[in-house]
């Protein structure tokens, strides 16, 4: 593993070997152990289920890591499934035989290498019992799903545990326990009427913490991909994801083993500039601009300005024109330089009570910024300004989508000679004194 010519380690084996690969200091892809449970419910095609399981378990004498290790059968069809296994060449072990075979499955708490890949007859001979030479699989009927039960472990041989479940939910629960005990992240399988039981397929998929969830499929062939399904890539190296301590959760293929180059030419985001619908300027344009408010049919106008402009009669230049046309007006003149969030909220409260259909900002940057935020609070009181203030590189790809404006009121900006540019931009800055920060939103 430490040889200088080694560029990447593909670790397929036991936990110790995989850990050594990950600890080697070289890039490594490791895969985990399987302990595939199979659930057979009352709607399954029993003949197909049994035939598929036997075909899978006898393929290479069960050494494929995705091969079935346990069969969990719903009570109402348990006897029928058991009978079908026996008829098709499986041996249902009696209590004495089950104990004998269970005694050779593990050695010092781990899989006994002597039985791996051996035939059913050879394993029976090792266990000191006799079965016909043409026996396909040895089945032990058990109830425990924890480490104390030898049949509950990964066996990599033509041996199977068989469990009786009260119903489908109980069967899935037992399958979950078996996966958690020794095959998390690897493979699980369900036999059901996949056309008429989509909710069971969905439930099984949701509950199983396995990367491969096979439906009505022999697990050895289905798990290694491109046989009986076309969603899994063909591979004998099957990742278990973070559940199983692996870096990937799919079948390892060429794409995981090659270095990919990407040549990226410079291409910049489109620039975007939003302007008001109408911009009036030069001496004497205010009355003409306000005529748009009247012709658009607005009836209630809220003017947002500062105390200096209000006290010196500048707000009257707007209110007099609007009142003469029958537009009701209200003036909020408490905006200060660098407006605070508390003042803005006060203005929004006035807007909520007055219910304007047009908001007119009069002054420099501060009244403009305050009026914009008041407008948002008035139209969308649920808005979180901390989220609006999140930065972005491209305004079209914001993390937080700006709410649609103009639902309750139109916004108009009337600038004084201080002219900060705020009157023609969709952005605003206010100060949050409670958190000692500035919020820039738009």
Question: What letter does residue 419 receive in the DSSP assignment?
Answer: -
Task: Classify residue 303 as left (phi > 0), alpha (psi -120 to 50) or beta.
Answer: beta
SS3 252: coil
CA-nearest of 102, 100, 93 to 141 is 93
Phi-psi bin for 209: left (phi > 0), alpha (psi -120 to 50), beta?
beta
77's tokens? 């069809």
In a 3-state reduction of DSSP, which class is residue 357? Answer: coil
CA distance 145 to 138: 18
Beta-strand ranges (E) seen in 49-149 are 68-74, 90-92, 106-107, 110-111, 137-141
Spatial separation of the C-alpha atoms in residues 208 and 211, rounded to whole Å: 9
Q: Would you say 13 and 33 are in contact if contact means Cβ atoms under 8 Å apart? A: no
Rounded to an integer, what distance in angstroms lies between the CA atom of residue 112 and that of residue 432? 68
- Does the annotation mark 65 as catalytic? yes
For the CA atoms of the chain, what is the radius of gyration? 37
* CB-count exposure of residue 435 (10 Å: 0-12, 13-18, 19+): exposed
Cα–Cα separations (whole angstroms), residue 271 to 103, 133, 267, 348: 73, 77, 12, 32
CA dist., res. 192 & res. 222, Å (int) = 16
Q: Are 160 and 137 in contact (CB under 8 A)?
A: yes
Residues with a known catalytic role: 65
């Amino acid at each position: 593993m430490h040889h200088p010519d080694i560029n990447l380690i593909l670790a397929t084996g036991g936990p110790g070997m995989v850990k050594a690969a990950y600890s080697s200091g070289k890039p490594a892809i490791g895969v985990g152990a399987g302990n595939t449970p199979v659930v057979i419910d009352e709607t399954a095609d029993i003949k197909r289920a049994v035939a598929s399981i036997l075909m899978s378990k006898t393929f290479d004498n069960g050494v494929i890591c995705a091969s079935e290790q346990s069969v969990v059968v719903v009570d109402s069809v348990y006897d029928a499934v058991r009978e079908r296994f026996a008829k098709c060449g499986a041996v249902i072990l009696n209590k004495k035989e089950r104990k004998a075979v269970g005694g050779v499955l593990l050695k010092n708490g781990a899989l006994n290498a002597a039985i791996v890949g051996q035939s059913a007859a050879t394993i029976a001979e090792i266990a000191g019992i006799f079965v016909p030479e043409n026996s396909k699989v040895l089945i032990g009927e058990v109830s425990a799903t924890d480490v104390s039960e030898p049949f509950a472990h990964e066996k990599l041989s033509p041996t199977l545990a068989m469990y009786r479940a009260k119903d489908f939910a109980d069967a899935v629960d037992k399958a979950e326990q078996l996966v958690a005990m020794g095959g998390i992240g690897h493979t699980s399988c369900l036999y059901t009427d996949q056309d008429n039981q989509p909710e069971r397929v969905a439930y099984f998929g949701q509950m199983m913490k396995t990367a491969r969830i096979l439906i009505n499929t022999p697990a050895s062939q289905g798990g290694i991909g491109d046989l009986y399904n076309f969603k899994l890539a063909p591979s004998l190296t099957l990742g278990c994801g973070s559940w199983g301590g692996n870096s990937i959760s799919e079948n390892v293929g060429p794409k995981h083993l090659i270095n990919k180059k990407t040549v990226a030419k410079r291409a910049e985001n489109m620039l975007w500039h939003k302007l008001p619908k109408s911009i009036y300027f030069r001496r004497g344009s205010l009355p003409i601009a306000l005529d748009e408010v009247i012709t658009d049919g607005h009836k209630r106008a809220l003017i947002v300005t500062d105390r200096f402009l209000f006290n010196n009669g500048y707000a009257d230049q707007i209110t007099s024109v609007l009142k003469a046309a029958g537009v009701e007006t209200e003036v909020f003149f408490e905006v200060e330089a660098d407006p605070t969030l508390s003042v803005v909220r006060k203005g929004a409260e006035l807007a909520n009570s007055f219910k304007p259909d047009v908001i007119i900002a009069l002054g420099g940057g501060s009244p403009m910024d305050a009026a914009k935020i008041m407008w948002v609070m008035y139209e969308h009181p649920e808005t979180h300004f901390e989220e609006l203030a999140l930065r972005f590189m491209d305004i079209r790809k914001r993390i937080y989508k700006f709410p649609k404006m103009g639902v309750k009121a139109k916004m108009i900006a009337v600038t004084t000679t201080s002219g900060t540019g705020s009157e023609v931009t969709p952005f605003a800055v206010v100060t949050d004194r409670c958190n000692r920060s500035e919020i820039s939103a738009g």
